[in-house]
Each structure stands twice: as C-alpha cells, then as structure tokens.
Structure 1
Amino acid sequence: MRVRKPLFATLVLVVAVYGWARWGPMAPLFVVPRSTMLLDRDGGTLAASVARDGQWRMPPGDSIPARFAQCLIAFEDRHFRSHHGVHLPSLVRAAQQNRKAGRVVSGGSTITMQVARMARGDRPRTLWNKLAEVLLALRLETRLDKAEILALYTANAPFGGNVVGLEAAAWRWYGQPPDQLGWAECATLAVLPNAPARIHPGRARDQLLHKRNRLLGHLRDTGVLDSLTCALARSEPLPDKPLPLPRHAPHLLATLEQRGQRGQRIHSTIDASLQRRVQAIAERHARTLRANEVHNLAVLVLDTRSSEVLAYIGNPDPADIGNAGAVDIVQARRSTGSLLKPFLYADMLQCGELMPDQLVADLPTHYSGFAPRNFEERFEGAVPASAALARSLNVPAVRALHQHGIERTLRTLRNMGMRSLDRSADHYGLSLIVGGGECTLWELTGAYASLVRIALQEDPAPVHPPLAVRPPPVRNTGPQQPPLSAAAVYHTILALQDLNRPEMETGWRHFASTQRIAWKTGTSFGHRDGWAIGVTPGYTVGVWTGNADGEGRPGLTGTLAAAPMLFDIFATLPTTADLDPPHDELEAMAVCGRSGLRASADCSPVDTLRIIRAAIRTAPCTYHRRVLVNADGTEILPPGANGQWTNWFSLPPAMEYYYAPAHPEYKPLPKGRLGIDEQPMNMIYPEQGAQVLIPLQFDGTYTRIVLHAAHRDPQASINWDLDGTFIGRTTGDHKLPADPATGTHRLTLTDQLGRTLITHFQCTRGTAGRANGSIAP
C-alpha cells in the first residue's frame, strides 16, 4: 500500500505535466515583425520588403527543401528523427568539452532546443537558461511534429547580417528561392547559423568553407552524395556579398502593405513573364519621356474577362526619390482628360437619345462662361457621333453632357466603378467630360474592362474592380443589372476601334490592322496628364504619363506620350478574337445615309442597319427635304413650276457655315423661294437662352463679346438690333462686337428680305472666365 501511493502520485504528476506540456496555454513562440512577400500567380517571388525591425525575415513557408533538411540534420542534430527534444549523450559530451576548455565551447543542443533558445531571445548561456531551453524543447516535442519543428528553425535561424530564416538567406546570398538551391548552397546555409558572422569577408570565411566541405564529405560518406557531386559542390565558392531581392511590382507590394497585408506572403495574380516584359517597355519609354522632363508613368494590364491584374507598374524607377519615384501612380487621382467620353456616348445610346452615327453639332459653344474648344482649334459644324468619340472632339462631348445631364452621367460613371468621382455635379460642371474630374488608373482601366465584359455577356456580374490578389475578395456573383446595355457598349467599342483618327494618330493604323483594339487617349488641361487605355476581349491595358507633382510639359498628350507605350505592350500580348454583336439587343432599322438619323420619307440614300433597339426613340432625320429644282439643280422653283423634285440634304445655317468648307461634296440649297417655315439664319453665339459671362480685364475694363450668326445666303446682309437699338449691319461674314450690360437681352436679326431671328440671352459680369476646355485627345 505504501508503494502504491507514491507510484500513483508519480503517475498523476507525470500525466499532469504531460497535459500541461501538451495542452496547457503557451504564448506564441516568435512574435516578431516579418517581411512582406509578393508572389506571382505561379508562386514565384516578385518583390519583398524588409521587416519593420530592419531584418529580412520572411513569413514562414509551407515546405522545406529536402536537400537543406538533410544538410541541417546531418550538421546540427543527427539524432533529430529519434529523440524527443533532448539528446542526453550530446549534453553530456558538451558538458565534458566545456569543463576541459574552461569555457562554453559546445552547447549540445538539439534542433528543437535551438528553436527554444531562438524563441526565448538573446540570453546568456547559463545552466538555468539551458534548463529552460530543455523544458521548452520537451513541450515543443509534445505539441509539434518534426516537420513543424524544422519549419520553425528554418524560418527563424540567423544567417548573417540582417538575414533571418532560410528563405531570406537563399535570396540574399544566392539570389534564388530555397527550392532551387544546390548541394553546396544548402550545405553553406546549414552550417551558417552556427557562426553567422563568418559569411562576411574578412571574418574567418575559411573556417566556414572548411565546415561546409566537411559536411559535404559526411554526406558523401553516408551515401547521400556520390563522389562527383561532392567534388563539384566543394569547388563552388562562398557568396561574396548580399544580393538584392527581386523588385518586380514594388509599388503593388507597397500599396498592399498600406492596406493591411504587411508581414504576409501575398499571392498575387501577376504574370511574372509579362510583368518583366512590360517593365522593360516602360523603362525604355521612360528614358524618352525624361528628355522632355516627364519623369513618371504607370501601367496596368488586366485579363479582361477575369479582371485579374497581369502587370503592374506604379512608376518606372522607385529609387528616383527626387521625382516621386516611390509614389504608386496607379492608385493616384489624376485628371481624366477625355477618358470619360465613351461612357457618356454609351449611356446616351441606351437611353434612346442618340443614334450611333448621327450628325451632332460641332459649333462654338458657351455655357455660363465655359467655352470648350477642340484640340485642333477648329469646328466642323456637324460630325457623326461615333467619329466625334473616336477623334475625341471636346465640343460635341460637352454639348452631349449638357443634354444628357451631369448628375445622370456621374451616376453611370460611379456604377461603372469610378468611385473617385465623389464630388457633386455642381462641383464638376460640364468640364467633367473634358478632364474636370479626377480618377485613378486602377479605376479607369477596370471600368474599360467592365465595358467589354458587359458586351461579352458571359459574366452575370460584369462590373467589378481589378483583382490583384488571390483568393479574390468575396463579391456578389448573382445576376447583376449592369449600368450600360450590351448593345450600347458594342456600338461604343466599334467607335473606339475606328481607325479614322486625327492626323497625329494615324501612325497606329499599321498596328491596329493586325489586332482590333478599342482604344482611347486623354490629356488633361495644361498638358499635365497623358492617358491611353486599350481593350480587347482578352486584355485591357491602361497607361498614364506625366509628372507626379502636376507640372505640365509641351507635347505631353495621350497620343504622343502614352499611346506608343500602349501599342508596344499590346504587341507582346496574344491576339484575341473580336467581339460578337449582341444580336438579341439589336434591331434592323432604316438609317439615313447622310445624317445617321432614323430615315424619314425624304431621306436618300437609306441604309438598313442592325443597331441598338433604343434608337427607335430618337427623332427621324430633318436634314433632308423635298424641293422642286430646275433641270440643272441650281434654283429652287415654286410649286407648279416645270422642274424636277429631289431630296436635298441641307444642314441648318450654323452647321453649314463650318461643314461646307471641309466637305466639297456638300451642296447648299440652291437660290430660290423657300417654304414659309424655312429659317435662313442661325445664331452661333450666343445661342438661344445662353448665359454669357463677361470677364474683367487686367486694365479694369470688361471685354466685349463678338456676336456671330450664319445665313444660308452668302451674299445676305443682316441688320442687328439689341433691345430695340440698332447696333450694326453685316454682310457675308456676320460677326459684330457688342458691349451688353448685365441682365437679360433680346437680340433681333433681320435680313434683306425682312426675315427675322430673335435670340434671348443673359449677361453676367464677373472677375474672370472659366477655363476654355481646350484639351487634347
């Protein structure tokens, strides 16, 4: 009985100690800052950042290379697989060696004990600390398997300088991941934690080399290596100096760190091969841009269907601190230039406010002091809406926004993912469509990719932002009503694929003929930002160029600075199939061949085209009229006269004034008696109901406005009357300076035949006018 009680007590104590060791609370072993690693879509390392404490200490990996494990166990703990954390013969041998030497020359620690020592921090090598390491090692052996213990060692062992852990050591000393290390490299790193300072030149490197070669010899003697492999491994030199880690997509890494992923192993969607190609293209173009004092650029390449980020260039040279090289321009808000125009075009199409190719006015336009101008500084009178979009004409875009509404347009843009447009409609005004708003390359490129996904009709939720990390964030994958219809987007894509671009852009025709790319450029006011975004069903590429500090430069336009890079990048991408028409959203419709409007009874020629069904709500063509003319078509005859009826294409006088000189095929109406409803005059400026802002000049006087009208008869004379007072007469070119006071005015024009045109407008005198909106395509 006396024997049983001590035995029972001992058993209870052993069980209690084991239970405490196995399941008792234990603080995390290594609470230390970690480096952040950015991996590509295949798991390769793209970039890494140093931990907050200045150490290269990577997040723990999920595997240990077999070669390194063999080298480590052979050098540090040959009984690792069989002991339970402590190897007593090794401890006894170490105690004897230390007693003979009179100092600590051997610790006798197993790998598990070394993990315990590293976990407890840098402490003196005393008997009590050794006992604590033994106890912690025993606890680790009860909780973890051997592979987990090896993983703790390889992730936290010192490898010289500020290098901690095998993965950091493999990159810093050999410039490659651990699983690609050879036998000599694994052997070097296996012996290095035993004396990490010896990796540096001048610090007994010959002793490190001797240890490595002795380990390789042991591996040969135990049959792990053959003689030839051992000899080759021994002939390899030690590394000379630390190597830089890969620096691909460093700005994406920094951005993800700022968003809470510091110290993690981030699995991205980046295609490493494409990233390197795009990086080389960006660096080549950056050298050219620097010659014009343009120091920054950014590139984003997406897989259109998945919206996954394939390449990410936040700036060409992160080390260029003087020119904000560390700034991630992909995420920076910049003036959008003309990049929002396609979304307005598509929105008007789906609302039945526009036909794809209908003629729209390109005339001098003023809205409360805002006077947009085209980049070419000329007006064409009338231009097809699709051509106005492809050529990025500002005046038709501003007039379209005025018609469609700023608030409606903002709602569509935000629903397409452009959340940076977070100000009110009053804040942006009509300048929104020509660069008055700011957005990021990230959002804009994502929105263009969403356009194509809408047209493809494959994704039930086609509008979503770019995806840069895996696994992607959880999003609603149920059916989604996109903000734009597939048919509206299809017509928009066709317009952006049009090769009839301004002369400065025709250099891209030879490339565009090999791949159907829908592309758009944009330039902000003052030449501060140059954009180019291109889309195909396979890829979406966004490019921004400029200076991070906002300094404008001559020649900094989307066409000259960004588009060449865009097409160089597309040249490295596989060609993809073109978009298929969304047949279920298109309808055959009779379209006037001259005006692009729905054909009326008087239109000729008439084309039958399959276009968006909402176009049925647009008004029919009013530019054709049936007139009776003489035999040679030079005079309009009164009804009943001997002549021939013809369908004549005739634009309103204001459009005709600008349109006719640029279109020799256009024939103005012949002279003769017109119908009583015919108005031969149009006001070009100010238009009916206009609000005119008259700015104050530097000398304290107010500028005079120039009234401008057009008359269908080039020889007509017009009498001008302002508020009942005769102010002048014009013949031929009908422009007349005037100095109207603040308030509402009535302007009456009377031609030589007594026909009149009345225009009401309002004048306001201010301190300065708004920007004129002359922005490059």
Structure 2
Amino acid sequence: MAPAPPSTVVLDRNGALLRAFTDQSGRWRLPVTLAEVDPNFIALLIAYEDKRFRHHIGVDPQAAGRALFQGVTSGRIVSGASTLTMQTVRLLTERRERTLLRKAEEAARAIQLERRLSKDEILRIYLNNAPYGGNIEGIRAASLAYFGREPARLTLAQSALLIALPQSPETRRPDRDAEAARIARERVLARLAERGIITARDAAEAEREPIPTRRRPVPRLAPHLARQLANAAPDRSVHNTTLDRDWQASLEALASQRVDLIGPKVSAAILVADIDNGAIRASVGAAKFLDENRAGFVDMVTAVRSPGSTLKPFIYGLAIEAGLIAPMTLLEDTPTTFAGYEPENFDTTFRGLVTATEALRQSLNVPAIALLDAIGAVRLAVRLQTAGARVDLPVGYEPSLAIGLGGFGTRLIDLAALYTALARDGRPVALRVTDDAMPRRPGRLLEERAAKAVSAILSGMLPPRNAPPGEIAYKTGTSYGNRDAWAIGYDAKHVVAVWVGRPDGTPIASLTGWTDAAPILFDAFARIGIERRSAPPLPVATADLPPPLRQFMPRRTVSGGGGSAPRPRNALSIAFPPADARVSLSRGDGSRAPLVARVLGLPVDVWLLDGRPQSVHPNRRSAQIDVPPGEHTLTVVAADGSSERVTFSVD
C-alpha cells in the first residue's frame, strides 16, 4: 500500500510551477505539501469530512456506531462513517466497493496507517491523491485546472467545491455538469454554516461566486528546458530551477508578439542570466512551442548557428590586450585582401580612417579582420574555447580569418556566457539552470583593462529607435545570407542574449541584428528592469597616444587592384622577464629595485606595464620599470607596430 508516483514538475527559483507532465497513466497528479495548501481549506475539509480527525485512531467510534446502527436497521448503508484516514486507505488501494465487509477492512487498515504515519502525513497523501474528475488527482492539479491558481490561496467557494468533488468526482465535474457541481458546493456550504464553522452571510456570498465551466491548461512555461530536465533525470519528480516564472512568461509573450511582426516561419530565442553567479533567469527556446510552421519545438538557445559579428568585441579586446591598439587608435577601413580573403562591410561601402571605437560600434568588417590577422585566428578560437564556448568547425578545418565574421558554429547560451566576461572584467561565469549543477569553471577571456575598454565602447552603441541610450552595453550581429540575427547586451546585473531567424536556416532578405534582434533585446531589458552600469572611463584622445598606438598598421597593405603584399617585420622578443617567471626585486636593505626589462630584435617605442605606458625613451632595447609585487603583464611595441607580451609576477 504505497502512494502512486506523482507527476513530474519543473519549478522556478521560488517554487512556482513552470511546467508539469502527466504520469505514465496520463493523470495530472502534481505533488504538494501541507505548507503549500491554504490552511483555511484544510480546516474546512476536516470540519466537513472528519471533525475528530486530529484525535481518533483511524476510525471515529461515534460515527461508526451511528452508521452501523443505521445499516443494520435498514439493511443498507445510509450514512457514511469514513474518516479521512479511511478515505486515504481507499485512495491507496483504489478499491471502490461500498459494503460492510469492505468498510471493516478499511477501518483495520486505517488503524494500521495511523500507527505508521502522523496525521499531517496522512493529510498530505489524501491531498495528493484525491480524485477531482477526469484525469485530475490531487488538490494542486484541481486548483490549477479549475481555478488557474495554486491552492495556497482559495476563496470559500473554491474550497467548498474542492471539498465536494472527491465524493463523486465524475458526476460533479464542473466542466461537465456545472449545475451538479453548484448543488454539491452549496450542500457543503450549508453544512458548514449549520455547524457554525462559517456564517450564513459568508455562505450566501460564496454561493454567488460563479462555478468554473471549463478546465484551464496546466502551466507550460519553459517547455524546451523542462523537457530537457525531465528527459535527463526521468526518475526525479521535482526539478528545481533558477528561472523566474514572471520573467519567463513575459519574455515568452514578447518573443511570440515580435515574430508575428517579422514574418512567417520566423522564430526567436531569448536567454537571461545573472552576471554574478551564472544563474539562468529565463530561457525562451522558441517563440511559439506548438507552432509547427515556425518549428517551435526546436530549442534555439542550444542550436548551433553562425554568430555573425557578435565576436568582434573579443577581437578588439585581444588586440587591446596585445598592445596593438587603444580605443582611439586609427584603423583603415579600405578594400583589402588577406591571403585571398576579401571582407567587405554589410553596406558594401568603406569609411577610410576610423578610430577603433567607431569601427567596433559600426561593426566594420575590414578593421576587425585586420586585427584578427595580427592576433591570429587560432588565438581567438582558443580563447573562446578556454572561456567555455562551443566552436564548431568542419572536420579537418583550422580556424581562419572567416571566424571573425561568424565563420563557425556556436550557441546562444555560449554567446551569453562570453559576454559575461565583458561585464566581469574579463572573467566569464559558467551559466547554469539548476543549483545542483557544477559547471566547469571557465578560463579568463580577456585582461581586465581590455574588457573594461571594450565595455566602454559597447556602452556607447546607438540604441534602436525609441530606446534609451547608454543604459546597456550591447552588440548586434547578422550571419551570412541573413540567416541569423543576434543581439547580446548586459547591464550591471544581467546579460540578455537574443536570436531571431528561421530554425531551418532559410535566409530572410531583410533580417538584421539591428532591425530585428536589438528591439527585442531592449524590450526584454525593459521588462526585467535595467540595473545601470557605472559610467565608462573616457578614452585617451588619438593625439595623446604614444606614436605607435595612434594608427594601427596591418600586416597586409591596401590594394586597390585586389593584390596584397605582406609588410616585412624583424623579430621582436622579450628576453627578460621570461613568460610566467617569478622575479624577486628585493634589496638587502628592504627596498625594491626596478625591473630591468630587455628585448631582442627591433628596438621598442612603447613599453606598457599592465596596459599603462611607461616613461621610457623610444628606440630602446632595455628599460628600468618600477614594478610593485603581484602579477603583471609587460607589453612592448616596436615602431612597425609589431608587439610582444609576457605575464610574470614579482615577489
């Protein structure tokens, strides 16, 4: 004699129901505790069904004596004497005979049950298994199905109906026979009033409340994520998540509204995560889960797609980290060929000389590829993978310059995690949807100064029409052929990632990240509430930069005729300090000596310690630099733009 297994439920961070699944027999049996049920309902249930429940041993001698006398004198069962414990026994054995022998057997088992379980445990079993009509079992499923609310707060009329239904669940079903349900509810109210449990006035007011005439759908929020959790752990009946039910519902509605405006067969995905701890607060896998024309069953949060230009901030970050550029360094946006690869801008025009800030904000392709050519496509791919992102390339292919414009596959959830690095001074956080998940700790993506510089640039991005400027840092992207539109942004607390497109990868002529994904991004932030970031630092003007940082000289020269020639470079390497070295600068008298840094090859024009220029005369191969204890990065830049860097620590 054991309770039937409950339905599988997926809950949000506060225990609110996101999604439920029927059990193997197709029944809705949603688990509930006494603390989750309105205490007034429990008091009314006991008062109506079994007023001596808290005191008897499983059977009520007074009620049993009365029922026995009436049964013997009439030859049939006239009044019931079933206690809640006996009714619980009946639910556990699923036997419905109404004979004296069956009643005696139930009484014996009820006494046994009382010896094994507490009164609250018996009540919990009853509330989880009582029948309420059709495939609805348990008060939680009934409350959601008939009233669209959790049983934690019930009106008097609702409580009376839920007390009446288990006695004859099929004949009193309000969705089948509202009049029979009304009569049964009024009978409960009248008896409670007769016993002085409620007033006649309360009963009269409750009788005026309409009877529900249809079943409401069980919540089906976060359907993709709920399905994944249920499939991953089929033996678990309760899945607790980090999601926020209100945010999830609001953003699912947002996605559905927007795709109707964009076009047919279009879907959208939205992910919201906490920057501090990686907890996913909302995960909208598709705009309309049940819409087959939009392939709503496909979870686009985890689908592998081309990221377009959303990776450009990390290219600029690596270039700043390497000492190649500063935010106000001039870059050339002119027709250029890189070993046969000829990138062009989205609008097929070129801007000439622009600052790195302008180039990133305008998402210009040639400057980004020139920087990627200097830092190396493999380096970018390795950094992304170290930070925990998925980098899907065809089998046998090595990362090439094309990855700078989205020439590989990744996922929306990966991009969201990467952008947490920009918000967290270069260190990403692994995203998770359950508190018991132990994701691998990702490696650093960018140095702190580089992450701060890129964040300052993205904070100045022009917002979509009618959106407030300067409140979030964000970047958009559009994949080749207008197949994917992206927008990823962050404020002081959350990162939000948006994808728009067709799940089957069909191109959409007018689709762009700016026109289609960015408005959803800003609307999503408006719905969850924006936590303002601190004002970004003002960049150093181009004229105030050291000469090698005023203009970036790419390794490939501009060629109007389509040809290109590599710029020759002499070797440049740092002889001291070696990479990852521990250096002691302490003197015998307790003072600290300067670090004497040396390079081989080209003389150095700019020496940078942790990104800050040092007062060293140009054209030197050695320099004395005051270095405090701790971990540091030394970057040297030669006159031709070549650079080297090492990380070391000082005791």
Is the TM-score greater than 0.5?
Answer: yes
Take 2:337 and 2:71, find their aligned partners in 1: how far apart are those partners? 94
**SS of alignment partner, residue 83 of structure 1:** coil
Aligned to 2:572: none
Q: Are positions 1:552 and 2:507 aligned together?
A: yes
**Structure 1 pair 139–395 and aligned structure 2 pair: CA distance change class (3 A):** farther
**SS of alignment partner, residue 545 of structure 1:** strand
Q: Are positions 1:402 and 2:373 aligned together?
A: yes
Aligned to 2:31: 59
What is the 5 A alignment of 1:425-440? 426-440=397-411
Map Cα deviations across residues 119-178 of structure 1 (whole Å, 9 max, x no partner): 223465667765554444233212221111111100111110111100110010111111
Take 2:555 and 2:211, find their aligned partners in 1: how far apart are those partners? 84
1:494 positional shift: 1.5
1:70 positional shift: 2.1
Aligned to 1:749: none
**Structure 1 pair 56–402 and aligned structure 2 pair: CA distance change class (3 A):** same
Larger Rg: 1
The 8 Å contact of residues 304 and 540 in structure 1, kept in 2 or not, is answered as: yes
**Structure 1 pair 433–103 and aligned structure 2 pair: CA distance change class (3 A):** farther
Q: Are positions 1:577 and 2:496 aligned together?
A: no
Take 2:133 and 2:186, find their aligned partners in 1: how far apart are those partners? 19
Q: Are positions 1:238 and 2:211 aligned together?
A: yes
Q: Are positions 1:687 and 2:642 aligned together?
A: no
1:415 aligned residue (378, 386, 395): 386
**Structure 1 pair 408–558 and aligned structure 2 pair: CA distance change class (3 A):** same
**Structure 1 pair 172–574 and aligned structure 2 pair: CA distance change class (3 A):** closer
Take 2:55 and 2:471, find their aligned partners in 1: how far apart are those partners? 66
Unaligned stretches of 5+ in structure 1? 1-26, 456-461, 500-505, 600-618, 624-649, 659-682, 691-777
Letter in 2 for 1:508: P
Aligned to 2:133: 160
Q: Are positions 1:329 and 2:300 aligned together?
A: yes
1:48 positional shift: 3.1
**SS of alignment partner, residue 193 of structure 2:** helix
**Structure 1 pair 388–242 and aligned structure 2 pair: CA distance change class (3 A):** same
Take 1:653 and 1:542, find their aligned partners in 2: how far apart are those partners? 35
Map Cα deviations across residues 52-71 of structure 1 (whole Å, 9 max, x no partner): 43211112335232222123
Identity %: 34
Take 2:189 and 2:566, find their aligned partners in 1: how far apart are those partners? 92
Aligned to 2:481: 526
Take 2:554 and 2:303, find their aligned partners in 1: how far apart are those partners? 45
**Structure 1 pair 178–689 and aligned structure 2 pair: CA distance change class (3 A):** same
**SS of alignment partner, residue 333 of structure 1:** coil
Aligned to 2:458: 496
The 8 Å contact of residues 60 and 151 in structure 1, kept in 2 or not, is answered as: yes
**SS of alignment partner, residue 454 of structure 1:** coil
1:233 positional shift: 1.1
Aligned to 1:373: 344
Take 1:221 and 1:559, find their aligned partners in 2: how far apart are those partners? 68
Letter in 1 for 2:30: M
1:464 aligned residue (429, 450, 453): 429
Take 1:105 and 1:400, find their aligned partners in 2: how far apart are those partners? 90
1:231 positional shift: 1.0
Q: Are positions 1:598 and 2:546 aligned together?
A: yes
**SS of alignment partner, residue 354 of structure 2:** strand
Take 2:31 and 2:244, find their aligned partners in 1: how far apart are those partners? 22
What is the 5 A alignment of 1:260-271? 260=233, 264-271=237-244
Take 2:533 and 2:105, find their aligned partners in 1: how far apart are those partners? 70
**Structure 1 pair 237–569 and aligned structure 2 pair: CA distance change class (3 A):** closer
The 8 Å contact of residues 74 and 215 in structure 1, kept in 2 or not, is answered as: no
The 8 Å contact of residues 76 and 111 in structure 1, kept in 2 or not, is answered as: yes
What is the 5 A alignment of 1:267-416? 267-290=240-263, 293-367=264-338, 369-416=340-387
Map Cα deviations across residues 725-747 of structure 1 (whole Å, 9 max, x no partner): xxxxxxxxxxxxxxxxxxxxxxx
What is the 5 A alignment of 1:166-177? 166-177=139-150
Map Cα deviations across residues 650-671 of structure 1 (whole Å, 9 max, x no partner): 999955x88xxxxxxxxxxxxx
**SS of alignment partner, residue 171 of structure 2:** helix
Take 2:27 and 2:546, find their aligned partners in 1: how far apart are those partners? 70
Take 2:370 and 2:242, find their aligned partners in 1: how far apart are those partners? 41
Letter in 2 for 1:465: A
Take 1:398 and 1:36, find their aligned partners in 2: how far apart are those partners? 48
1:45 aligned residue (14, 17, 23): 17
**SS of alignment partner, residue 418 of structure 2:** helix
Give the paired residue count. Answer: 567
RMSD, matched Cα = 3.5
**Structure 1 pair 388–530 and aligned structure 2 pair: CA distance change class (3 A):** same
Take 1:202 and 1:484, find their aligned partners in 2: how far apart are those partners? 60
The 8 Å contact of residues 144 and 150 in structure 2, kept in 1 or not, is answered as: yes
Take 1:50 and 1:294, find their aligned partners in 2: how far apart are those partners? 30
Letter in 2 for 1:140: L
**SS of alignment partner, residue 531 of structure 1:** strand
**Structure 1 pair 535–229 and aligned structure 2 pair: CA distance change class (3 A):** same
Letter in 2 for 1:442: I
Aligned to 2:412: 441
Letter in 2 for 1:598: P
Take 1:534 and 1:242, find their aligned partners in 2: how far apart are those partners? 40
Q: Are positions 1:473 and 2:430 aligned together?
A: no
Q: TM-score, normalised by structure 2?
A: 0.78
Take 2:457 and 2:402, find their aligned partners in 1: how far apart are those partners? 22
Deviates more, 1:30-39 or 1:102-111: 102-111
Take 2:324 and 2:254, find their aligned partners in 1: how far apart are those partners? 42
Aligned to 1:145: 118
**SS of alignment partner, residue 201 of structure 2:** helix
Aligned to 2:602: none
**Structure 1 pair 411–146 and aligned structure 2 pair: CA distance change class (3 A):** same
The 8 Å contact of residues 472 and 532 in structure 2, kept in 1 or not, is answered as: no
**SS of alignment partner, residue 227 of structure 2:** helix
The 8 Å contact of residues 421 and 445 in structure 2, kept in 1 or not, is answered as: no
